[in-house]
Every structure is written in C-alpha cells, then in structure tokens.
Amino acid sequence: MVIVWRGLGWLVAVIVFGFSLVANLVFNNVYGEGFYDTHKWPLALSLVGSAIVCWFLGSHLKSRSDRIAIDKATGQEIVINQSQHTLFFIPMHLWGPLLALIALIVFVVERTSK
C-alpha cells in the first residue's frame, strides 16, 4: 500500500477541490453555464485561494507540532518536529507556493493562447 499523505496532508486535496468546486458554481452562476470550463482564469483564482489557505494552515500545523529539546551537555536548543503533514511527500505549508506557481502558469497559458 502506498501512502500519499501523512498527518493532515490530505487536507491539501480537499482544500483545492473545495475551492475549485465553489469557483465552478459561482462563475457558472454569474457568467453563464460553461464559463468555468471555457475560461481557465477562474481555476487560477481558486488555486490562489487554495495556496493561501494551505500556506497558513500548514504553517500553523507545523509550528504547533514543533517541540524544543535542550541538550544537557551543551545547553543548545534543538527543534524537533514530531508530526508531519505532507501530501506526496511535500509538506502542507510548501503546497502554498507550489499551488501559486501552478495558478500563475495556468493564467499565463490562458492569456498567451488567445
């Protein structure tokens, strides 16, 4: 069995799906049926929203799971991250910049293809 997520990393997929679904429903309702399918900038916009949520949620979860240990011999502090929240081995907070980059690529491709 292949594990594609660890911890709450599966939330990345849920967040991206949720933002895309809401964008699909909103843009098709406002601009007419099929608008979301024929224009890709609403997808890029939903990916930006997903990126923001993944960045902040992932950063919060990461900081919450960090523990600080003090080496008795040297007195040096060591940060130990006990739980990891990853999807496809990518930490949840790093999905934010990755999704933002994908959104930029989708937007640029749509603008240059017309």
Domain boundaries, the chain: 5-113
Residues in the chain: 114
57 in Cβ contact with 19 (< 8 Å): no
Scored b (16 or more CB within 10 A) or e, 92-101 reads bbbbbeebbe
Q: What is the CA radius of gyration of the chain?
A: 19
For residue 83, pLDDT beyond 80? no
Q: Which candidate, 31, 51, 34, 56, places its Cα nearest to that of 103?
A: 51
Token reading at 67: 């523990």
What is the structure's pLDDT at 78? 79
Specify the pTM.
Answer: 0.82
Q: Check whether 10 has a pLDDT greater than 80.
A: yes
Give the other-Cβ count within 10 Å of 49's Cβ. Answer: 18
> Each residue of 19-61: pLDDT tens digit?
999 999 999 999 999 999 999 999 999 999 999 999 999 999 8
